[in-house]
Amino acid sequence: MKEKIVLIGIVLYFFVSHCFISRAQELVKGDNGQAEKCLDVGKAFFKSGNLILSEYEFSKGLKLDPSNVELLLALGRTYAFQKKFDEAYVQYNKVLNINPQNVIALNGLADICRLMNNYKEALETVNKAIEINPENITSHLTLIEIYVGMGRKEDALKLYNSIKDKIPLRFKEYMEEYIQKITVEN
């Protein structure tokens, strides 16, 4: 009888330990997909133009999963749209601390630096993105805007002419108007 009690105690100990460890792993991993749910809800708010609730959802998700790159990028973009450039800068750098090769974060950071008139860092950052992925059109479009901000309009026009056939339709009209505007100013 004593042996059965000891055996039951051992089984119970391992069962409770396993449950505790499994729950701890779930919490560390991100609370059973709750962070992903926050990402999805935040994206929906972002698309509807509700940046305050978008920011709230992305921040809530990051409390559950602080190294979630998608959440960090989404929060950075949300801050950028709200003109909270310092906060966006921090989020993009968090992504780059996790993955220094993340071209989306590099482009976002370069654009934030440009908007903050920090052209030196903007240029260095976008050039790094182009070095990693020379075919990324967003990097080239960002570089055009950096050139314009630096007063290097001829470089901007030259780059635009070299990539204009590769620009996706969703950017084409904006870029054509943008280039037309700087051409008139020249």
Query: Per the domain annotation, does 106 fall within a domain?
Result: yes
Query: Per the domain annotation, does 79 fall within a domain?
Result: no
Query: Per the domain annotation, does 83 fall within a domain?
Result: no
pLDDT by residue for the chain (186 residues), tens only, comes to: 556 564 454 544 444 444 444 444 455 554 568 999 999 999 999 999 999 999 999 999 999 999 999 999 999 999 999 999 999 999 999 999 999 999 999 999 999 999 999 999 999 999 999 999 999 999 999 999 999 999 999 999 999 999 999 999 888 888 888 888 888 776
Query: Per the domain annotation, does 172 fall within a domain?
Result: yes
Q: Which residues contact 26 (CB under 8 A, 6 or more apart)?
A: 32
Query: Per the domain annotation, does 25 fall within a domain?
Result: no
**Which pLDDT score is estimated for 2?**
55
Query: Per the domain annotation, does 135 fall within a domain?
Result: yes
**Which pLDDT score is estimated for 60?**
97
Query: Per the domain annotation, does 115 fall within a domain?
Result: yes
The total of structural domains in the chain comes to: 1
**Which pLDDT score is estimated for 106?**
98
Query: Per the domain annotation, does 111 fall within a domain?
Result: yes
CATH of the domain at 138: 1.25.40.10
**Which pLDDT score is estimated for 11?**
41
Taking the CB of residue 10, how many other CB atoms lie within 10 A of it?
A: 10
Please say whether the beta carbons of 156 and 144 come within 8 A: yes
**Which pLDDT score is estimated for 48?**
96
**Which pLDDT score is estimated for 1?**
56
**Which pLDDT score is estimated for 10?**
54
Q: Which domain holds residue 134?
A: 100-186
Give a three-class secondary structure readout of the chain: CHHHHHHHHHHHHHHHHHHHHHHHHHHHHCCCCHHHHHHHHHHHHHHHCCHHHHHHHHHHHHHHCCCCHHHHHHHHHHHHHCCCHHHHHHHHHHHHHHCCCCHHHHHHHHHHHHHCCCHHHHHHHHHHHHHHCCCCHHHHHHHHHHHHHCCCHHHHHHHHHHHHHHCCHHHHHHHHHHHHHHHHHC
Taking the CB of residue 118, how many other CB atoms lie within 10 A of it?
A: 17
